[in-house]
Structures are given as C-alpha cells and as structure tokens.
Amino acid sequence: MNKDISDYHNLQSASDKVICELLYSEISDNLGNSESKIWHGHPVWFINDNPIVGYSKLKKGIQLLFWSGQSFDEPELKAEGKFKAANRYYHDVKEINKKDLKRWLKKAIEIQWDYKNIVKRKGVLERIAG
C-alpha cells in the first residue's frame, strides 16, 4: 500500500479504517493490472489511466464507487451522478459481501466507459474494451 493511501486510512475512525482496509485488499487483489493512488482526495484504481473504482468517506458512510457501475446490471449498486457511475455504501465491515465485490471488480475490468477522455470529448462517454 502506498503511503498516501495508508495516510488516508489512518485519518478514518477505527470502524471506517477496517472497511477501507478490506476494500483496499480486495480491490488490489482482484484488479491485477491497475494503478492505485489518491485522486481528488480518496483512493482510486486506474486501468490504462482510466478510473475504475474507488472509495471515500462521506456522511452516508464509506462509499464504494464504480465509474462504469451502472452498466454492471447489479441491483446492489445504485446510480450516482449524471454519467455511468454506481455506488454502494458501507457502515460496518460485516456488510461487505466479498463474493459480490469480486464479481463487481471482474465486471469493472470487462465493462469500461472512457472517463480518461471525457473532457476531450466534451462530456461524451464512449465504451471501451476491458
């Protein structure tokens, strides 16, 4: 784990830190060919510079966000924002279903929308191969 992500985890409450560390471990283990870093203040994983998944502490809990998650056809993931993102909130580490998370991460590799070039395309998202 890089120092910036470790520092992010250390800023969380004890219960939120446990959630973040489990999410970090599962995401890192299942997104083999990815890069993780702090981006816009929270941990995010990228494949070929395209944001795939991240998590952040919000008032509603720890938000797990998949940038292309609305295309996953997963009822546990709720639409977020005006593009293709979807999320799930956690309040306790016991709420994390590792089997679901692994399935979502597999879909995150297979189903990607090109957020890397969204500004260049003036807000238009295009589907890319995973």
Q: pLDDT tens-digit profile of 68-127? A: 999 999 999 999 987 899 999 999 999 999 999 999 999 999 988 676 666 666 666 666
The percent of residues above 90 in pLDDT, for the chain, comes to 75
Model pLDDT, residue 81: 83
The model's pTM: 0.89
Query: What CATH number is given to the structural domain containing 38?
Result: 3.90.1150.200
Minimal CA–CA distance to 46: which of 130, 123, 127?
130
Q: How many domains does the chain have?
A: 1
Per the structure, the complete domain to which residue 95 belongs is given by 3-129
Minimal CA–CA distance to 38: which of 19, 22, 57, 60?
57
Task: HSE, CB side, 13 Å, CA atoms: give it for residue 127.
Answer: 8
Q: How far is CA 98 from the centre of its chain?
A: 14
The percent of residues above 70 in pLDDT, for the chain, comes to 88
- How is residue 58 written in tokens? 């919000």
Is residue 130 predicted with pLDDT exceeding 60?
no
Tell me the average pLDDT of the chain. 91
